[in-house]
Amino acid sequence: MTNLKLNRSFIENGPWKDNLFQGKVVFVTGGAGTICRAQTEAMVLLGANAAIVGRNPQKTIQAAKEIAQLRPGAKVVECSNTDVRDVQSLVKAVDKTVKELGRIDYVIAGAAGNFLSDFNHLSSNAFKSVVSIDLLGSFNTAKACFEQLRKNKGAILFVSATLHYYGIPFQVHVGAAKAGVDALSNALAVELGPLGIRSNCIAPGFIEGTEGMDRLNGKTETKSKIPLQRYGRVEDIAQATIYLFSSAAEYVTGTIQIVDGAVWHSGVFSTKYEYPVNIIKANSDPVMKL
């Protein structure tokens, strides 16, 4: 049984040239997850070698082994027991990657945490935890990879969201963190641009088959309210990732690529939580301990 999201047909039936990223290396935090895994698989299928970075040894090692099977000769390094909240932990992962693969050209900062919580039941520690993983973790990833990015005139892609584009109930923590990620990416695009480093964000919408989709969407029917009338697929995120890392986007930096079928324009996020009934109910409980 394999957990692979893509296969050779992704190239055979797609618009991209085979071996597009031959000789290149991508460093991916959250690479054992669903979305970031598909991003990594696409890069490996197109010739890149990869480093899968994660905290869980079993998931990280298994993901690396499976992804390496996608292409003959592919090299995929596992960097397990890595905590993005600790920059020195990431430095060790970078050192291992460079030692085994020789370089880092592309970085995907995708490690993230999320859960549903109204403001009243959201503790300060829970808020801090998400900000630490999503925002501080993104900064630490860029910081640890900076020497390699500068040396190879590389590119970094932050995995963001659309939750902060307007007020989303039960997502105060994630919205705040992802707003920071966008700001971080934009600032790095300006500051690191003269060094030849590009920085962009990708903002997925409802992507089917992901843990986030199952956890956050629940049993609520939202597909009919999405303008393109379908949920996103991991392939959609993979395609956008390839574009942003490819030479086709060599003059594209400081952007946020939204891949959500225009769902954020439709107000689905607010309506799905039965606003304001559920908000009033959740926040009518006794004030929770800080």
Q: Which ranges in the chain belong to alpha helices (H)? A: 9-12, 35-45, 57-68, 87-101, 124-131, 137-152, 172-192, 211-217, 234-245, 268-271, 277-282
* 108 CB neighbour count, 10 Å cutoff: 28
What pLDDT is recorded for position 283?
Answer: 73
Catalytic residue flag (residue 160): yes
> What is the Cα–Cα distance from 240 to 101, expressed in whole angstroms?
25
Alpha-carbon distances of 4 from 30, 213, 232, rounded to whole Å: 15, 18, 17
* Rg for the chain, CA atoms, rounded: 19
Task: Please give the backbone phi and psi of residue 84, each rounded to the nearest 5 degrees, phi first.
Answer: -65, -15
What element of type H or E holds 28? strand 25-29
> What is the Cα–Cα distance from 63 to 4, expressed in whole angstroms?
8
What pLDDT is recorded for position 217?
Answer: 57
All structural domains of the chain with their residue ranges? 17-282
What pLDDT is recorded for position 272?
Answer: 57
∠ CA 59-35-218, nearest 5°, is: 95
> What is the Cα–Cα distance from 27 to 163, expressed in whole angstroms?
26
Each residue's pLDDT expressed in tens, for the chain with a length of 290 residues: 678 888 888 878 888 888 999 999 999 999 999 999 999 999 999 999 999 999 999 999 999 999 999 999 999 999 999 999 999 999 999 999 999 999 999 999 999 988 889 899 999 999 999 999 999 999 999 999 999 999 999 999 999 999 999 888 889 999 999 999 999 999 999 999 999 999 999 999 989 977 666 655 555 567 888 899 999 999 999 999 999 999 999 999 999 999 999 988 887 665 555 666 776 777 777 776 66
What element of type H or E holds 158? strand 155-159
What pLDDT is recorded for position 266?
Answer: 81
> What is the Cα–Cα distance from 23 to 7, expressed in whole angstroms?
20
Given 138, 178, 185, 272, the catalytic residue: 178
What pLDDT is recorded for position 211?
Answer: 67
Catalytic residue flag (residue 178): yes
Given 80, 160, 185, 199, the catalytic residue: 160
pTM: 0.91
Instruction: Residues 17-282: name the CATH superfamily.
Output: NAD(P)-binding Rossmann-like Domain (3.40.50.720)
| Environment class of 250 (CB within 10 Å of its CB; exposed 0-12, middle 13-18, buried 19+) | exposed
Burial 180-203 (b: 16+ CB within 10 A, else e): bbbebbbebbeebeeeebbbbbbb
Q: Are 52 and 74 in contact (CB under 8 A)?
A: no
